[in-house]
């Protein structure tokens, strides 16, 4: 009797289980530590810049062939300021509510793909966006921490992260999404190498902004914590480092997974990750959620999963020969915190 799995297949299964555990674990750690930092140190630009900068020593890349400085700067700006927008939303809103809103990323994915990639989605893909809109609306109605600031910054985060997807796709295909004419192919980078370069560039962009917008206030609050509330100071310091390390690690682990699995598997795993994150944040912070909120959360996350699956299984019609590859890129939801 032959075994169900060969040794190589068993090795792959064990590796995937370990990778998914790391992905879910560090995603939860990042969001929980992030929220705890912001409760005592509500400086979103400084916190976001620190988190990205902490990832720089963890990354290493010895070349940047195939990625122009201007394109790298665009991807890094979307990555860095997308994290700023997420941190801004978490400053005032609950972790669970913010991530219900972030389940609306496919709305921006569909919008940007039409504008910049000249890609028309299938009818089923557009239909799958309906439960996302309804779900986010229902979750917002009875949300205790709802404010238009939280809603707007979380949506801005969606826009920036999906814009990064567009520019990242351009880096793989060797062209700018807004440039006319034929696509120029060049040596492309691996996803992990691209992310490492993006981390460094994003840190260089965010640090001056943090100094400009929050430098004096952040420095004053930091000294106040250090001198008057030392125990809280060390608590904030530890959680800030923890959130920065987790932010880098879970993003890189997501790329490891994408190298091993089908995009549909990645899409399912990403939806489960959001469910795990919302449940964990409710347990840690004792966030009250109404029945309407639960229904809205299920609709939004379920709609996001359906959209990813439809994009993979239903070829999108497009006037561009690269459009058919978009569904794979979107369904993977790379670099999505």
Residue 83 in this model has a pLDDT that exceeds 70: yes
pLDDT on residue 325: 40
286 secondary structure, DSSP code:
T
CA distance 63 to 269: 31
Letter string b/e over residues 17-56, b meaning 16 or more CB atoms within 10 A of that residue's CB: eebbebbbbbbbbbbbbbbbbbeebbbbbbbbbbbbbbbb
pLDDT on residue 29: 96
Question: What phi, psi does 318 have (nearest 5°)?
Answer: -155, 155
Angle at 21 between CA 87 and CA 298, to 5 degrees: 60
Q: Mean of the per-residue pLDDT values for the chain? A: 81
Q: Cβ neighbours of residue 159 under 8 Å, at least 6 residues apart?
A: 108
pLDDT digits (tens, 9 = 90+) for 15-28: 888 999 999 999 99
pLDDT on residue 118: 72
Helix axes 7-40, 69-92, angle to 10 degrees: 60
CA distance 95 to 32: 8
CA distance 201 to 56: 9
When pLDDT is averaged across residues 326-332 and rounded to a whole number, the result is 39
pLDDT on residue 320: 43
Other CB atoms within 10 A of residue 202 CB? 29
Token pair, residue 28, equals: 């939860």
CA distance 335 to 299: 23
CA distance 290 to 146: 13
pLDDT on residue 178: 52
Residue 273 in this model has a pLDDT that exceeds 80: yes
Q: Which residue has the higher pLDDT, 267 or 250?
A: 250
CA distance 97 to 146: 8
- How remote is the C-alpha of 235 from its chain's centroid? 25
Which 3 state secondary structure label does DSSP give 68? coil
Q: Are 194 and 67 in contact (CB under 8 A)?
A: yes
HSE-up of 241 (CA within 13 Å, CB side)? 6
Q: Are 78 and 163 in contact (CB under 8 A)?
A: yes
Q: Cβ neighbours of residue 223 under 8 Å, at least 6 residues apart?
A: none
Place of tokens 């890129």: 329
Q: Are 200 and 72 in contact (CB under 8 A)?
A: no
Question: 317: part of which helix (H) or strand (E)?
Answer: strand 317-318
When pLDDT is averaged across residues 186-215 and rounded to a whole number, the result is 84
pLDDT on residue 84: 97
Residue 204 in this model has a pLDDT that exceeds 70: yes
pLDDT on residue 124: 84
When pLDDT is cut at 50, 70 and 90, the band that residue 65 belongs to is low
pLDDT on residue 262: 65
pLDDT on residue 61: 59
Residue 89 in this model has a pLDDT that exceeds 70: yes
337 secondary structure, DSSP code:
-
Token pair, residue 205, equals: 């962009």
When pLDDT is cut at 50, 70 and 90, the band that residue 4 belongs to is low
């Amino acid at each position: 009797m032959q075994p169900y799995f060969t040794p190589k297949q068993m090795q792959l299964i064990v590796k995937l289980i370990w990778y998914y555990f790391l992905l879910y674990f560090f995603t939860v750690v990042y969001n929980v530590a992030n929220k705890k930092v912001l409760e005592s140190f509500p400086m979103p630009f400084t916190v976001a810049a620190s988190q990205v900068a902490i990832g720089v020593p963890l990354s290493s890349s010895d070349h940047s062939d195939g990625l122009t400085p201007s394109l790298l700067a665009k991807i890094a700006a979307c990555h860095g300021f997308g994290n700023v927008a997420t941190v801004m939303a978490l400053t005032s809103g609950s972790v669970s509510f913010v991530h219900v809103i972030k389940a609306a990323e496919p709305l921006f994915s569909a919008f940007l793909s039409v504008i910049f990639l000249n890609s028309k989605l299938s009818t089923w893909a557009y239909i799958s966006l309906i439960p996302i809109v309804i779900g986010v609306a229902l979750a917002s109605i009875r949300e205790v921490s709802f404010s238009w600031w939280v809603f707007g910054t979380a949506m801005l985060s969606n826009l920036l992260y999906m814009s990064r997807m567009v520019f990242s796709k351009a880096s793989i295909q060797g062209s700018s999404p807004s440039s006319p004419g034929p696509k120029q192919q060049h040596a492309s980078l691996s996803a992990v190498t691209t992310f490492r370069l993006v981390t460094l560039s994003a840190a260089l962009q965010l640090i001056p902004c943090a100094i400009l917008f929050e430098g004096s206030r952040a420095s004053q609050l930091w000294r106040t914590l250090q001198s008057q509330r030392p125990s809280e100071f060390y608590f904030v310091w530890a959680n800030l480092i923890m959130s920065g390390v987790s932010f880098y690690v879970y993003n890189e682990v997501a790329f490891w997974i994408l190298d091993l699995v089908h995009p549909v598997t990645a899409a399912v795993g990403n939806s489960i990750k959001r469910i795990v994150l919302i449940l964990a944040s409710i347990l840690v912070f004792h966030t009250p959620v109404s029945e309407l909120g639960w229904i809205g959360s299920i609709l939004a996350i379920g709609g996001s999963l359906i959209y990813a699956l439809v994009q993979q299984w239903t070829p999108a019609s497009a006037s561009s020969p690269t459009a058919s590859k978009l569904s794979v890129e979107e369904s993977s939801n790379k670099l999505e915190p």
